[in-house]
Structure 1
């Protein structure tokens, strides 16, 4: 093999592919680190550079957290889905308006529907879906259009000169309008 020894570990876009061999090497690097090996000792032992040893240990830690984290996300998603289903049941049910413990009827004797309950259910459904989207990162990030202007010492001095010139001009205009003053 010539050139980069890990060039086969990259996809067509140059990004690293996670291979079983690399995951096993990373886990071994983490095991050595847990045995108080330095990153340089790990690097020398594995035939990689020190930065690669640090990355290997970090990747192993990330991999170790993925399983429980995935379970947690799945559990939270299941809870949100259950809440959403409950809200849909409320939304699809017929609700009648009640006042002072009694059903309210229209002029023809029919119970009046209570739309407030349905509107609150819609609000809760939207909130559950919003939580679901946040959990999985489905919303588009907010775009911010910001322009930064650097203010230099010259800019500050120029502003001060302009303020002074404006003040002198206003004073001269007042003197012209008010006429000469007698001393």
Structure 2
């Protein structure tokens, strides 16, 4: 295996490994044994992976808890952590979607589960047609301004909605989304 290569996050300064380790099909739902997860993370980290991706909904928070515990073994400045919010986390009507309420509550809970003060990237896990774009962008801007996330992005958003979010952010002097995460896996 060759040496890991790193790429800039779009035009921004953050460098992410070309290969990331995501928790969606890895931790929580499939692998519950922490020692197996620890070994997977260690091998990835020693191979040069610095980007570890998660979401609140993966195993209803368990994936974040497991990853957060294991990543304590590595210096935080060497890690690029991401998580996401959108999908329902309970039966409560406000515990889902991209409302300001849900986004701020979700990032707060995710940070606790991940045992960190901030994530590098916070993703809007899907587009939410029930929430005005200005509410989504202002909420994500607030999350970045508070230092809960360094950047924000979108996951599986339609191109027109991404363009709308970027335009709204630029017009209003707000932090725009800087990355889109489409569904992709080496497998």
TM-score grouping bracket, smaller chain normalisation? under 0.3
Which structure dedicates a bigger proportion of its chain to strand? Answer: 2
Higher relative contact order (CA 8 A, sep 6+): 2
Which entry has the higher C-alpha Rg, 1 or 2?
A: 1
Q: TM-score, normalised by structure 2?
A: 0.25
